[in-house]
Structure 1
Amino acid sequence: MKISKLILENFKAFAETIVFDTNKPVVCLVGENNTGKTTVFKAINFLRSGVSKDKTIDDYKNVNHKDKHVSITIEIEGNLRESIENFSEAKYLPYIVDVGGTQKITLKRTSEEYSIQQGNKSVDINIKKITVYNSDTDQFENPTGFDKAINTLFEVVSIWSDMDASELMDFGSTKTLGKLLKDICSDFEASSNWSNFLDAHNVAFTTGEESLSKQSQGLVNDIEKSLCEFYGEATVSFDFQPPEPSSFIKLGNIIINDGVETSISEKGSGMQRAFALAVMKVYADFLIKHPSNSDLKKPLFFFIDEPEISLHPRAQKTLIESIITISRHQQVFITTHSPFLLKHFASDDICTYMTKKINQSAHAIAVETMRTFSFSPTLAEINYFTYEICSTDFHNELYGYISSITNKNNSKKLDSWLHEEHSVEKSKSWIRDNGNGNTNTNLLTLMSYIRHSIHHPENTYNQPYTEEEIHESTKKMIDIIKSDKFEVFLTN
């Protein structure tokens, strides 16, 4: 199950309508701080839950466009019929659309207020209601009970950079910890400990001499007497049935002892994040051990804000392996500043968006698929495409790759090929000491000039290349690698 599309309209930092195509197991958001990465996560929460109690709708609108409506739309793809039949109500099945063998459902929350004709009645649409697209009527509708059904139809697990412990401490059966505990509960219910507890509960509440049932008998008699006066002949009794094991689990707490033993809610955000990631790692292992578990068929989406924070490289590697495992079953969204993290995801399994501020508004640009080389992606390649860092490492990789594939093993041969096949001019003069106190000058392409400058920093006869020149040279080499003329070398 995947969120295949996400549309933000006038939402917080995003003044314009932004469309994210997210039909990949892993969705990554990169960019500088305060450019809207985490805002995308908050958009999902807004869609599911609406306006928080301590906020107004204006808090969700772009600061420069308070007069415009705000809305979030998501499209979900996957085995939706099975999910609705198992976890929701069958009356929502008509809202599933079959497109090319794929089941889709589209949800929207908007601040625009209007009325629609829904069946035989008029329904008001506003920010308090989540709507679902009806392809038959070509409109977004709010069927009875749908707002509540959404929260049972799919779950979201969020791990924020400024972690809130409340999500971690939820042992509900639909939450991550609750799912992990479910198998254990089945064994626990069959144990002698639970059987002994039921016996003790019966004595304490029902059959014992000092049981709550016997001690409350006077109260029962008074209520029964009054009931007969109001209603007629009737009897009253209190039945103290033992709760299900899940009721006790929901009351559980998480205690951490890192030198000071306290509830995790009293720990700092660093410890809370570490615990959340640890639970996620265990959940990944659980997925491996129980791939056919029916409880895993319910859509569950992970949103992890800057997972690399406070993790040393070995811990980052463990985290990456966990994300890869989870993404085979559940979709994972991450924000990150780490090229090391991005390097480990296969291109077919990840889509990446770079966020940036343009004219006081956040924008999101789909990052080009990083398949420049046969050995892609490299860290230098990731830095170029996702962080717009043009490095000497990437320039060297591009130059060496073109030389190797075309079998032009020196700059003279390569420059001739670049000039003949791609009209690259030999426009740069390279001065070289010939070893006897004299110099000679050769005309080179910009690519070879920069390559020589990188590899021969001891040569002080030549002017350093500029930032603009290395960007120009890098872009030109990428264009060459993607050209049909270069493709011939790759297929031969």
Structure 2
Amino acid sequence: MLIKSVTLKNFRGYRSETTVLFSNLTTFVGRNDIGKSTILEALDIFFNEGKGCISLDKEDINKRASSEGDDEIIIAVEFFKLPDSLVIDDSNRTTLAAEYLLTESNTLKIVKRYPKAGREKVYIRAKHPTNAVCCDLLSKKITDLKTILNRENIECEDQTRKAVIRTAIWNHFADNLNLEEKEIDVTKEDGKTIWESLKKFLPVYSLFQADRSNNDHDKEIQDPLKEAVKSILKEENVAQMCQQIAEHVTTKLQEVSNHTLDKIREMNPELANSLSPNIPSFTDLKWSDLFKNVSIAGDNDIPINKRGSGVKRLILLNFFRAEAERMQSNTESDGLIYAIEEPETSQHVAHQKILMKALIDLANNKNVQVVLTTHSSYVVKQLKFDNIRLVKEKEEDREERIVQAIEPSQLPYPSLNEINFTSFGEVTEEYHDELYSYLYSNKTDGIKWIEEYKNGKTTVDYIRELPNGTTKTEQKTLTEKIRHQIHHPENCHNEPYTETEIRQSIEDMRAFIMRK
């Protein structure tokens, strides 16, 4: 199972119901504190239920909603690539479609509600029967289902399996099911088995945070393999094997000690009776000490925690990837989602390029999704438009957040530089050139846009350097002057343009294009 969309409501800055579409690689861009990481952390709460990086508390409730008496957080995830079949009660194998647990578009939508940021209540939003006789069959016990069979005179080939009985009842009312979208509670009564079964198929979600500890004393930094040992030893099958070994060794030690005491007793019974073996229990054994010397070291055995911050983060990031794959291999799920905040942090541009190529390749793997946040214009330029989601404030209410998919046709000028300008306010000569070229190459009624743009604009002095070495003062618009200065850096007769001037020129060109 993989994510098709995520919906948030009343979670931090997301007051109104906000739905975000996901692709195999989804990257959230926007200014600081706008709500990019909020989406990744909401997913950590949804999938890992407080056992991951993030725990839910009352501070996560949207402040305005709370003041208005609405204190229920909603995190909903819509999935595709669903299991072909599953067992939701006893040993009855069935399908999500047969149980009317899919949306109209044949996806699975799981809604988690957190009243007052407390314990989750789980629902499936699906197109489900609303006929009073057969609207809540999934929560009924087998005796209740049989009662319906008898009361409605419905034939059923196997009255020992709930899935078969439900199908018989629904088939009986096939012309009068009254299918409507509704939420089915899967945390009460017999509905609990549905959720327990579905949880096994949820993708493994692993979050790598931007502010992940990166100091010398952090245990994971000192050596990720030591932390991996602890994690591996906690796995159920490994713990069982360790217990079996401990029990076997304990039995052998008990035999040896008893035999030794018997021999002592032959010579000195009083001494033998004062002695007893001291064998620690399984829970007291420190299994991780057996692997205390495992490590990853570099040149001249320099430990990881003494390397540069960029190297430490790069090693941790790939340890995170390896651990996520290992966790996924221990589940029935074949879905794996890597969520990484600001992968560019502490990385040289060359490393950013390698890292982004690796993440893009990773996202192209079957049953894998990669979710990123970034403040790097370089990272954005490695992406396609359908990989990018812009998080920003609503124009009519700046306390609310919206998330937009980026389509080239939506932009005043279809360029990744435009996204960087909108998201980060980044001003570059490259973007200025792109806008100018766009104006120059477009016409209306035979008139170039650049001529329309210049018409009526204030001009400034520009000193042109002629081929014979002399100079000539000309009148140019600010945009033209900056264009000339970008393309003729050898001309030192003009004051360099300022950050304010190039920003103003870019904004003027964008405004003109948007009016077109």
TM-score normalised by L of structure 2 = 0.59
Is 1:432–1:439's contact at 8 Å kept on the other side of the alignment? yes
Structure 2: gaps (5+ residues): 131-181, 214-218, 260-281
Q: Which residue of 1 aligns with 2:18?
A: 19
Letter in 1 for 2:111: K
Q: Report deviation, 1:269.
A: 8.9
Q: Which residue of 2 aligns with 1:225?
A: none
Structure 1, residues 134-168: CA drift from partner, whole Å, max 9, x if none? 32051242121455545432211111123377898
1:62-141 matches, within 5 Å, as 62-66=62-66, 67-82=69-84, 90=93, 93=96, 94=99, 96-97=101-102, 99=104, 103-112=106-115, 127-136=119-128, 137=130, 138-141=182-185
Q: How many Å separate the matches in 2 of 1:323 and 1:268?
A: 22
Q: Which residue of 1 aligns with 2:449?
A: 418
1:8-407 matches, within 5 Å, as 8-12=8-12, 14-50=13-49, 57-66=57-66, 67-82=69-84, 90=93, 93=96, 94=99, 96-97=101-102, 99=104, 103-112=106-115, 127-136=119-128, 137=130, 138-142=182-186, 143-145=191-193, 148-149=196-197, 151-153=199-201, 154-163=203-212, 169=227, 204=249, 210-212=252-254, 255-257=295-297, 273-279=313-319, 298-328=334-364, 329=366, 330-348=368-386, 350-355=387-392, 361=399, 363-366=401-404, 368-369=406-407, 380-403=417-440, 405=441
Is 1:430–1:462's contact at 8 Å kept on the other side of the alignment? no
Q: Report deviation, 1:323.
A: 0.8
Q: Report deviation, 1:55.
A: 7.0
1:473 is aligned to 2:509: yes
Q: How many Å separate the matches in 2 of 1:150 and 1:386?
A: 38
Q: Report deviation, 1:10.
A: 1.5
Q: Report deviation, 1:25.
A: 1.0
Q: Which residue of 2 aligns with 1:2?
A: 2
Structure 1, residues 419-454: CA drift from partner, whole Å, max 9, x if none? 78x787343445566888985657x6x754653465
Describe the SS at the equivalent of 1:111.
strand
Aligned sequence identity (%): 18
After superposition, the Cα gap between the structure-2 partners of 1:355 and 1:70, relative to the gap in structure 1 and judged at 3 Å, is: farther
Describe the SS at the equivalent of 1:352.
strand
Q: Report deviation, 1:400.
A: 2.4
Q: Which moved more, 1:467-476 or 1:19-28?
A: 467-476
TM-score normalised by L of structure 1 = 0.61
After superposition, the Cα gap between the structure-2 partners of 1:203 and 1:134, relative to the gap in structure 1 and judged at 3 Å, is: closer
Is 1:3–1:75's contact at 8 Å kept on the other side of the alignment? yes
After superposition, the Cα gap between the structure-2 partners of 1:461 and 1:50, relative to the gap in structure 1 and judged at 3 Å, is: closer
Q: Which residue of 2 aligns with 1:427?
A: 457
Is 2:73–2:113's contact at 8 Å kept on the other side of the alignment? yes
Is 1:29–1:355's contact at 8 Å kept on the other side of the alignment? no
Structure 1: gaps (5+ residues): 114-124, 186-193, 218-242, 287-292, 481-492
Letter in 1 for 2:102: V
Is 1:4–1:74's contact at 8 Å kept on the other side of the alignment? no
Q: How many Å separate the matches in 2 of 1:47 and 1:89?
A: 27
After superposition, the Cα gap between the structure-2 partners of 1:24 and 1:342, relative to the gap in structure 1 and judged at 3 Å, is: same
Structure 1, residues 270-300: CA drift from partner, whole Å, max 9, x if none? 77743332236668999xxxxxx99896121
Q: Report deviation, 1:41.
A: 1.6
Structure 1, residues 336-379: CA drift from partner, whole Å, max 9, x if none? 1111122222334x132234598773624426335899x9855x
Q: How many residues end up aligned between the 2 structures?
A: 396
Is 1:107–1:133's contact at 8 Å kept on the other side of the alignment? yes
Q: How many Å separate the matches in 2 of 1:284 and 1:48?
A: 13
Q: How many Å separate the matches in 2 of 1:298 and 1:431?
A: 65
Q: Report deviation, 1:211.
A: 5.0
After superposition, the Cα gap between the structure-2 partners of 1:429 and 1:162, relative to the gap in structure 1 and judged at 3 Å, is: closer
Q: Which residue of 1 aligns with 2:137?
A: none
Letter in 1 for 2:58: D
Q: How many Å separate the matches in 1 of 2:330 and 2:46?
A: 26
Aligned-residue Cα RMSD (Å) equals 5.5
Describe the SS at the equivalent of 2:22.
coil
Q: Report deviation, 1:388.
A: 3.2
